């Protein structure tokens, strides 16, 4: 709250910077250090594996470089599944979230029940249900459309995402002060006009940071698809360890995969923090 006024104001982005983290360091500056530390740990573990391995076999670093393209191709499947699951879950979750603030009581109750069910169900259980209950192919108008395993995984992960997005949408809409609704009503706006022209443009700003945080969580959770037989980064890393039959490569191989996920998710986390600062309201 600024001196001389008792009204909440939207402060400039730099004025909303939170206090320094542990040790007086900015939290945003700690993550690059973690990235460097992870890369250093990868090199150190590879060096240790190099000395612990058989001298007659290829070195640990050379082995990691040999498998890195394949592990990265599996990691790209993780990214693809995360993007598609987030898109599908966001679309379904937006409808569920808006239904929870509907004036129709039966619609609100049904939307609430669906949201609570999928929000509190284990992600792996939903993934198994999607893999085993959805058909391998769909017949539409005489055409047979294949429904591959990765598409089932997208649906399975989109279900809990939709429930969490629904809560984000509901919370964002209900966080808008009642005065905004009353002002729009005084201007003879319909409820649809109030939602689309007054409430949602303000609520979307508040929804973006938790939505992006949910996507980062989803990306890391895509490693669950390895359990149902998809060739993602974790599956290929595990296959590489089995093919090489070198226990000393266990830590370096998984650190390499961890580094890929960290390098992908860190910019999302940084952008999320920046948006939280940008759209924060000091009261």
| Domains in the chain: boundaries | 13-175+207-279
The pLDDT of residue 281 is 53
Please state, in angstroms and rounded to a whole number, the distance separating the CA atoms of residues 100 and 91: 15
Please state, in angstroms and rounded to a whole number, the distance separating the CA atoms of residues 272 and 75: 22
The pLDDT of residue 128 is 92
195 and 100 in contact (C-beta within 8 Å)? Answer: no
The pLDDT of residue 164 is 96
CA 117 to chain centre: 20
- Predicted TM-score (pTM) of the model is 0.79
**177's tokens:** 């002060």
Give residue-wise pLDDT tens across range 174-230: 988 888 888 888 888 888 888 888 888 888 888 988 999 999 999 999 999 998 888
The pLDDT of residue 239 is 92
> Could you count the other beta carbons within 10 Å of the beta carbon of residue 19?
7
The pLDDT of residue 15 is 43
CA 107 to chain centre: 28
**What is the chain's Cα-based Rg?**
24
The pLDDT of residue 22 is 45
**207's tokens:** 């929804």
**Would you write out the chain's pLDDT as a tens digit for each of its 283 residues?**
445 555 444 444 444 444 444 444 444 445 567 666 666 766 666 666 656 555 556 677 888 888 999 999 999 999 999 999 999 999 999 999 999 998 899 999 999 999 999 999 999 999 999 998 888 887 777 788 888 889 999 999 999 999 999 999 999 999 888 888 888 888 888 888 888 888 888 888 889 889 999 999 999 999 999 988 888 999 999 999 899 888 888 888 888 898 899 889 888 888 887 777 776 655 4
Residues in the chain: 283
The pLDDT of residue 145 is 80
HEC profile for the chain?
A: CCCCCCCCECCCHHHHCCCCCHHHCCHHHHHHHHHHHHHHHHHHHHHHHHHHCCCCCCCHHHHHHHHHHHHHHHHHHHHHHHHHHHHHHHHHHHHHHHHCCCCCHHHHHHHHHHHHHHHCCCHHHHHHHHHHHCCCEEEECCEEEECCHHHHHHHHHHHHHHHHHHHHHHHHHHCCCHHHHHHHHHCCCCHHHHHHHHHHHHHHHHHHHHHHHHHHHHHHHHHHHHHHCCCCHHHHHHHHHHHHCCHHHHHHHHHHHHHHHHHHHHHHHHHHHHHHHHHCCEC
167 and 119 in contact (C-beta within 8 Å)? Answer: yes
126 and 153 in contact (C-beta within 8 Å)? Answer: no
- Specify the fold of 13-175+207-279: MetI-like fold (1.10.3720)
Residues whose CB falls within 8 Å of the CB of residue 236, separated by 6 or more in sequence, listed in order: 67, 70, 71, 73, 74
Please state, in angstroms and rounded to a whole number, the distance separating the CA atoms of residues 61 and 167: 46
The pLDDT of residue 32 is 64
């Amino acid at each position: 709250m600024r001196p001389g006024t008792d009204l909440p104001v939207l402060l400039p982005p730099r004025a909303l910077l939170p206090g320094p983290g542990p040790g007086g360091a900015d939290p945003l500056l700690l993550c690059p250090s973690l990235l460097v530390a992870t890369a250093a740990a990868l090199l150190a573990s590879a060096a240790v594996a190099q000395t612990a391995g058989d001298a007659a076999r290829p070195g640990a670093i050379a082995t990691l470089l040999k498998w890195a393209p394949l592990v990265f191709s599996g990691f790209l499947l993780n990214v693809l599944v995360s993007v598609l699951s987030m898109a599908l879950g966001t679309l379904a979750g937006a409808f569920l979230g808006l239904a929870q603030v509907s004036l129709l009581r039966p619609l609100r109750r049904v939307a609430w029940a669906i949201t609570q069910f999928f929000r509190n169900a284990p992600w792996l259980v939903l993934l198994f249900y999607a893999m085993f209950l959805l058909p391998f192919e769909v017949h539409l108008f005489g055409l047979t459309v294949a429904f591959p395993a990765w598409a089932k995984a997208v649906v399975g992960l989109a279900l809990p995402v939709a429930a969490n997005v629904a809560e984000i949408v509901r919370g964002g809409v209900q966080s808008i002060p009642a005065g905004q609704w009353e002002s729009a009503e005084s201007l003879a706006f319909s409820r649809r006009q109030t939602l689309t022209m007054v409430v949602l443009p303000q609520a979307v700003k508040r929804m973006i940071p938790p939505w992006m945080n949910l996507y980062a969580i989803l990306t890391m959770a895509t490693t669950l698809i390895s359990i149902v037989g998809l060739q993602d980064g974790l599956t290929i890393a595990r296959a590489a360890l089995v093919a090489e039959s070198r226990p000393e490569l266990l830590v370096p191989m998984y650190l390499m995969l961890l580094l890929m996920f960290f390098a992908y998710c860190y910019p999302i986390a940084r952008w999320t923090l920046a948006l939280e600062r940008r759209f924060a309201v000091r009261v």
